[in-house]
Structure 1
């Protein structure tokens, strides 16, 4: 489904997201490829192109997210909404493991999002380990 989002809107989303994936926190300057403007509520589920429904996501996170808006918390087995990077603070739902390679969900939303978006997939963990070795990771959270 093709959509047009004005360049000035894209620029504001990038600025607001601090050039960082809203889910795995990968910084644009370290990602091979442009971070994507993603629809928090997908267009396929009647999400809009309004700025408040847009955020940045890396290709991996965006592809794993697909049209999901909810997922099961693996601990409580309840269905919860996925993390909304525009409305929620990352640090309220996630932490980095001590080695900086893995994201742990600390709330039902966080745990469900980690699982649904496969935030600790093999590729992401390998790249994060390299970034940690280079002193680039984990990112400083505001």
Structure 2
């Protein structure tokens, strides 16, 4: 297991690769209060590393709800599945925006399980997205 140190150069590469937005809910840095966090896709507690391929950007809400989870249960099929990996999977393959642009809709087993596990439609997130939508900032059009 690696230590907690992640160099500034590596942080910047991850930030650029992630296009300065949360890999889960797609919240852009320019609209989020506080710095987006470097998150471990596989948590250090489960043998994850500080190598670039295990790091991505996450907003505080998504990262705190994810915690050390690596799997979750799909609410429709009941199947346990790996959570969405923003580094290796395409967001648009697993998620859609609700018609009003305020809720993330899981489109696959992985997507549905991730939406539930990360509580991606919690009251705070939906309220903020409503305001972003009114300002014309949401939903993003350049989906990964």
TM superposition score normalised by structure 1: 0.98
Is 1:8 aligned with 2:21?
Answer: no
Aligned to 1:135: 136
Q: How does 1:32-51 map to 2 (within 5 A)?
A: 32-51=33-52
Alpha-carbon distance between aligned partners in 2 of 1:69 and 1:63, rounded to the nearest angstrom: 13
Residues 38-86 of structure 1, C-alpha deviations (whole Å, 9 max, x = no match): 0000001110000000000000000000000000000000000000000
Which consecutive aligned stretches of 4+ in structure 1 deviate over 4 angstroms post-superposition? none
Q: Which runs of 5+ in 2 are unaligned?
A: none
Q: Which runs of 5+ in 1 are unaligned?
A: none
SS at match of 2:129: helix
Is 1:90 aligned with 2:91?
Answer: yes
Aligned to 1:106: 107
Following superposition, the deviation at residue 139 of structure 1 comes to 1.1
TM superposition score normalised by structure 2: 0.97
Aligned length: 142
